[in-house]
Every structure is written in C-alpha cells, then in structure tokens.
Amino acid sequence: MLKAVAVLPAGIRATVAETAGTAVLAHDERHLRRKAITLSDGGRILVDLPEPVMLSAGDGLVLEDGRHVVIAAAVEDLLEISRFDAGAIRL
C-alpha cells in the first residue's frame, strides 16, 4: 500500500506532475493524521502525516513515489437551522 507523506494545498497542487487518483471524503473524514483511505477507483493508500491536518477540496496528498492524490468533498446532507420566532405563535 502506498503511503501519503505530505499535503499540498489546492493552489500549490498543480505543480506536481502525475495524479494517482481522487479520494472523495466527507467533512469529518478530511480531518486526519494516520488513516487508510479508499480512492474512487478502489485503490487504497495509507495517510501517514507528522501531525493532524484538515484537508479541503482541491488539496493533494503527496505519495512516496512523487505522485499525488486529489481530495474531493463528498456530497453531504445539510441541516437548516433557523431561530424560533415567538411572535409567530397565536393562541
């Protein structure tokens, strides 16, 4: 299993030549330090970073062989919260 050893922020990622794949991760899955993750093509990599990071969509993980994996944000349900308006209640 290939190991991811560094993070490239989205703006810097374009300087790396070859992409090894894409990892589609939910918000809570993008906060990591050491974890095996599955790529969209079914491959797996081990993320092994020196300290915890919060990845954003478009960031890249640098693999030991110099290639990188692009991080994509998974589609997630959102909960809408609004304030309670006591004036709207009529008895």
For residues 40, 58, 66, 17, the Cα torsion angle rounded to the nearest 10 degrees is: 100
| Residue 17 neighbours by CB under 8 Å, 6+ apart | 66, 67
| pLDDT at position 17 | 60
Q: What is the pTM of this model?
A: 0.80
Rg (CA), the chain: 18
Burial class of residue 28 in the structure, from the number of CB atoms within 10 Å of its CB (0-12 exposed, 13-18 middle, 19+ buried): exposed
User: What is the percent of the chain where pLDDT is above 70?
Assistant: 88
Mean pLDDT over 47-69 rounds to 95
Which residue(s) pair with 68 in the sheet?
A: 19, 62
